[in-house]
Structure 1
Amino acid sequence: MRKWLPLVAICLGAFILLVDVTIVNVALPSMASDLHASFTSLQWVMDMYALALAALLLAAGSLADLFGHRRLYVIGLGVFALSSLAAALSPDATTLITARAVQGVGGAAMFATSAALVAASYQGRDRGTAFGVWGAVNGAAAALGPVLGGLLTEGLGWQAIFLVNLPIAVVAIALTLRVLPVGRRGTGRLDLPGALTFTVAAAALTYALIRGGEDGWTDTLTVASFVLAAVAVVAFVVVELRSAHPMLDLSLLRRPTFSGLLGSAVLFQAGSFGALVYVSLWLQNVLGLSPIRGGLALMPLAVASFVVAAAAGRHAHRFSPAVPVGVGMVLIGIGAGVLWQSVSAGSHASALFAGLAVIGAGVGLATPVLVSTAVDAVPAHRSGMAGGAVNTFRQLGMSLGIALFGSMFTARVREVTSHRGTVRAAYAAGLDRIFLASALAALAGAGLVFLTVRRSRVGETPQGAPSPDARDLAVRGG
């Protein structure tokens, strides 16, 4: 039993950081009332966390490779706990939004290091089992967020959704310091220009996606943010090509498995979770369900994800990683297709159950292998970077899915209501569009996986690229 304590420490952190992506959704009306703020302004309570998380993941992974994965994980837990306390004690909306941004900083440190810590703590069949459980926690946490948020908000007040993080973080810190090995520091130094340019690019892109979904894609600030993101990406590429210690070793993108996984991570997250925000709106605004009952309606996804990931993880090593990841994304596409056919103007919450369960099975099958294969596809001294990169692309996929699906949903709702359709018919028509888009995104991701992903050997060097040792010797003049 003791051998699984490191996994418990890692999963506790993963759970609270991913639950906090969605747990605030159902609490926003209560926050708006207590803090005397507009509901629209408090949307940034949710969005600021997602923005900071996406912008800083890759930089956090690079820092972890240099200073140690356990060390940065513990720091991240501490920052997350203190900012959660600040969020719960916030006297106004501005303080709350700022605390959420700091939460995103701590969450980035935790998210970027967790996959590398799992990989370093387990080998062989145990590694497959560990990644299965870790993936199950990842998949279930986001889906459980609305349920926990509803329970805590209705029972104890919105502050409880932040206070509950404190004891979990304290236990995770104590357990981490006791059972996880310290690990070795990396060589080299922080690629500060690379970290700055990538952070600007990710933050600008995430902000543009969020704002575009809310204020329109031709909004001046939306367009300016996209332009800034493009300029920052070009600057980042130039900086990384010239850096002796790049934050993202661009030569690794020559590995089809690694580059394919980055692209599929975007489509995976958009196809799996991009529609859930609008499903929650339908459940509460149209069907009139309470936050708790609305959250419970999404439970088939969480339950199926957890069960499948935990069961499949121990057997995943027997197959090429393209099989569980690709088949998982096919299942996500099928599940979204079932929802596309099932939900109509006369539907009730039960119409969601079958489709969500199939999506959950796909998430549970794909998540553990998606991340572990990305970590295994690069040299061990770049594992933090790999974990940070794939999770960055997952987070960007979530933002992209929510923003693009939001535009499609809003346009379809307006179209139906302009023709004197009922609210139920308008929402159903909007969901119809985004379920179809989710299915297409997931199936496109599956195609990309089957074309590019192959079993990797840890530390394998891509053709034409110097080995890590050779590169390090050249940098040191050896």
Structure 2
Amino acid sequence: MKIGTIIFVLMLGTLMAAVDTTIVLLALPTITTDLHTDLYTSIWVLLAYLLVLAILSTQAGRIGDIVGRSRIYNMGFLLFTLASGLCGISPNIEFLIGFRILQAAGGAMLASNSGAIVADILPPNRRGGAYGLTSLGWNVGALLGIILGGVLTTFLGWRYIFYINVPIGIIAVILGFREIKDVNKTKNKLDIAGSLVLGLLLFLISFGAVLIAGEGASISSILMIIVGVLLIPAFILVERKVSAPIVNMRVFREKKLSYSVFANFLQGLGALAVSFLLIMYLQGVRGYSPFYSSIILSPGYIVASILAPIMGRVADRGKPGIIAGIGLIFTFLSLIAYYLFLTPTTPIEIILMITFITGVGSGMFWPSNQTAIMFNAPREYYGAVSGVSRTLGNIGTILSYVLTITVSTLSIPRNVAFEIFLGTNVLNGGVSSVFVDGLHLAFLISSVIVVVAAILSILGEGKTSRRVVE
């Protein structure tokens, strides 16, 4: 078993999952036209991927604990690669959305087991460096997704944003099946009852939130979220009764683990809305193309890519929760800077400086937070805890999208907000100032969320670590 090769495959998996989270954004107008559909349907090419990731990550992590994390990871890579090719040949929008669901299922198998595989093959004092490298894969992938989405769509066509995954995936699948082997798995059975309840509550909450983002609040979407939240106590009750729960609830008596997991959720909720907000500002207020807007945001990704491996190694030396918390403070400062300085005529140089601060925050947070989570997770629950963390992060991403769309449509019609996001509409005159005021409110709300995340992360590091699951 070659550790370097395994980390390389894990980086590829993270990179590809990140690419396909962002690469679709700039291609949506072309997809809408080429497949003869409408904006509200084509937006599900993006939303369906996020929705399935949120629902399946916990399940895929738990299955990895039982049947083998490497097996589930490698099968996930195979499914992701196959689904990518199918997305490219989709004859209509319905097939494309369906294949994106398959692609997200493979992505969930990748994302929920990669952190657990690192924890399996490396001792605690070497994991931070590995998580830094996988974070590097995420940042590079997010940046490549934005750039490649514009380049491939412009010069080759939207189908190539999916075809590009196939040769990379084939290489990764061959290396993965050859090098990544199971180190640890449990003899527990799958928790069918808990899985059904958890899957249902995640679906109701996530789908209700997605409907609010796409169509606005309605009685049905609000009821979905309420019922989903009410199912949480039922899930906890079921997990206490079964002999082999998805995640033993006693695991979360470990304060470091709980605080780090929920800091991850709040970071996704508060910080991931920033890219959506800035793309809407740059396209809708400044009139820049989607591709040029993405280039303006690239410094943050570049800084995070450089910093993540370094901060991962620093986290290996101790206090990963504090390092993650400091990263969140940098993120908070960037949000406040946008709140204070963003106007319809803000010099681009100032925006670039703020994206630099955002990149510092991300580069510090991701590897350190992942190190803190896996260090405090019992070995038999590595996959499940990694899956829970990824699920909460994905839900945070969906809710951040809901926050963005909801706040932006306080001042402009929802269909105009979607057109701005896709780069097909530019605001003029006083309307742009009103829209920027709405963005200020979103940045302020996000900054409050990130502060709470920073407090959780720093306070969690101050708790005494104790293993509560025998």
By the TM > 0.5 criterion, same fold? yes
Q: CA deviation at 1:414?
A: 6.2
Q: Distance in 2 between matches of 1:434 and 1:354?
A: 20
Q: Distance in 2 between matches of 1:255 and 1:413?
A: 45
Residue 420 of structure 2 is matched in structure 1 by: none
Larger deviation, residues 55-64 vs 307-316: 307-316
Q: Distance in 2 between matches of 1:31 and 1:193?
A: 39
Q: CA deviation at 1:400?
A: 1.3
Q: CA deviation at 1:121?
A: 2.4
Residue 36 of structure 1 is matched in structure 2 by: 36
The answer to whether the Cα contact below 8 Å between 2:125 and 2:317 also exists between their aligned partners in 1 is: no
Q: How does 1:35-184 map to 2 (within 5 A)?
A: 35-123=35-123, 125-184=125-184
Residue 342 of structure 1 is matched in structure 2 by: 341
Secondary structure of the residue aligned to 2:90 is coil
Residue 461 of structure 1 is matched in structure 2 by: 467
Q: CA deviation at 1:446?
A: 0.5
Residue 285 of structure 2 is matched in structure 1 by: 286
Larger deviation, residues 128-137 vs 322-331: 128-137
The answer to whether the Cα contact below 8 Å between 1:147 and 1:294 also exists between their aligned partners in 2 is: no
Q: Distance in 2 between matches of 1:39 and 1:349?
A: 30
Q: How does 1:391-470 map to 2 (within 5 A)?
A: 391-413=390-412, 422-454=430-462, 460-462=466-468, 467=470
Residue 475 of structure 1 is matched in structure 2 by: none
Q: Distance in 1 between matches of 2:338 and 2:122?
A: 38
Residue 24 of structure 1 is matched in structure 2 by: 24
Q: Distance in 2 between matches of 1:318 and 1:412?
A: 48
The answer to whether the Cα contact below 8 Å between 2:247 and 2:384 also exists between their aligned partners in 1 is: yes
Q: Distance in 1 between matches of 2:226 and 2:350?
A: 41
Residue 275 of structure 1 is matched in structure 2 by: 274
The answer to whether the Cα contact below 8 Å between 2:320 and 2:371 also exists between their aligned partners in 1 is: no
Q: CA deviation at 1:208?
A: 1.3
The answer to whether the Cα contact below 8 Å between 1:113 and 1:387 also exists between their aligned partners in 2 is: yes
Q: CA deviation at 1:291?
A: 2.8
Secondary structure of the residue aligned to 1:303 is helix
Residue 423 of structure 2 is matched in structure 1 by: none
The answer to whether the Cα contact below 8 Å between 2:328 and 2:454 also exists between their aligned partners in 1 is: yes
Q: CA deviation at 1:426?
A: 2.9
Q: Does 1:259 align with 2:258?
A: yes
The answer to whether the Cα contact below 8 Å between 2:264 and 2:389 also exists between their aligned partners in 1 is: yes
Residue 189 of structure 2 is matched in structure 1 by: 189
The answer to whether the Cα contact below 8 Å between 1:269 and 1:395 also exists between their aligned partners in 2 is: yes
List alignment gaps of at least 5 residues for structure 2.
417-427
Q: Distance in 2 between matches of 1:444 and 1:387?
A: 22
Q: CA deviation at 1:239?
A: 1.3
Q: CA deviation at 1:275?
A: 2.5
Secondary structure of the residue aligned to 1:91 is coil
Q: CA deviation at 1:455?
A: 7.5
TM value normalised by structure 2 = 0.92
Q: Distance in 2 between matches of 1:249 and 1:34?
A: 48
Secondary structure of the residue aligned to 1:265 is helix
Larger deviation, residues 180-189 vs 4-13: 180-189
Residue 358 of structure 2 is matched in structure 1 by: 359
| Count of paired positions | 458
Provide closer, same or farther for how the CA distance between residues 93 and 414 of structure 1 changes in structure 2, counting only shifts above 3 A.
Answer: closer
Secondary structure of the residue aligned to 2:41 is coil
Q: CA deviation at 1:182?
A: 3.1
The answer to whether the Cα contact below 8 Å between 1:128 and 1:313 also exists between their aligned partners in 2 is: yes
The answer to whether the Cα contact below 8 Å between 2:23 and 2:161 also exists between their aligned partners in 1 is: yes
Identical positions, percent: 26
Q: CA deviation at 1:229?
A: 0.9
Larger deviation, residues 112-121 vs 27-36: 112-121
Q: Distance in 1 between matches of 2:160 and 2:359?
A: 27
The answer to whether the Cα contact below 8 Å between 1:344 and 1:425 also exists between their aligned partners in 2 is: yes
Q: Distance in 1 between matches of 2:201 and 2:242?
A: 18
Residue 13 of structure 1 is matched in structure 2 by: 13
TM value normalised by structure 1 = 0.91
Larger deviation, residues 352-361 vs 60-69: 352-361
Q: Distance in 1 between matches of 2:137 and 2:105?
A: 21
The answer to whether the Cα contact below 8 Å between 1:144 and 1:295 also exists between their aligned partners in 2 is: no
Secondary structure of the residue aligned to 1:146 is helix
Q: CA deviation at 1:413?
A: 4.2
User: One-letter code of the match for 2:200?
Assistant: V
Q: Distance in 1 between matches of 2:207 and 2:100?
A: 15
Provide closer, same or farther for how the CA distance between residues 265 and 377 of structure 1 changes in structure 2, counting only shifts above 3 A.
Answer: same
Q: CA deviation at 1:433?
A: 1.7
CA displacement 1:374-426 (0-9 Å, x = unmatched): 122121111001111111111111111111232112114469x9xx9624313
Q: CA deviation at 1:214?
A: 2.9
Q: Distance in 2 between matches of 1:192 and 1:313?
A: 36
Q: Distance in 2 between matches of 1:140 and 1:435?
A: 25
Residue 472 of structure 1 is matched in structure 2 by: none
Larger deviation, residues 349-358 vs 88-97: 349-358
The answer to whether the Cα contact below 8 Å between 2:66 and 2:190 also exists between their aligned partners in 1 is: yes
Q: CA deviation at 1:23?
A: 1.2
Larger RCO, structures 1/2 (Cα 8 Å, 6+ apart): 2
CA displacement 1:279-333 (0-9 Å, x = unmatched): 2122223323233212111101101111111222112122312211110111110
Residue 333 of structure 1 is matched in structure 2 by: 332
Q: Distance in 2 between matches of 1:424 and 1:30?
A: 26
List alignment gaps of at least 5 residues for structure 1.
468-478
Q: Distance in 2 between matches of 1:140 and 1:439?
A: 25
The answer to whether the Cα contact below 8 Å between 1:85 and 1:166 also exists between their aligned partners in 2 is: yes
The answer to whether the Cα contact below 8 Å between 1:412 and 1:430 also exists between their aligned partners in 2 is: yes
Residue 212 of structure 2 is matched in structure 1 by: 212
Q: Distance in 1 between matches of 2:250 and 2:464?
A: 16
CA displacement 1:66-86 (0-9 Å, x = unmatched): 011110001101111111111
Residue 474 of structure 1 is matched in structure 2 by: none
Q: Distance in 2 between matches of 1:342 and 1:235?
A: 46
Provide closer, same or farther for how the CA distance between residues 191 and 258 of structure 1 changes in structure 2, counting only shifts above 3 A.
Answer: same
Provide closer, same or farther for how the CA distance between residues 426 and 348 of structure 1 changes in structure 2, counting only shifts above 3 A.
Answer: farther
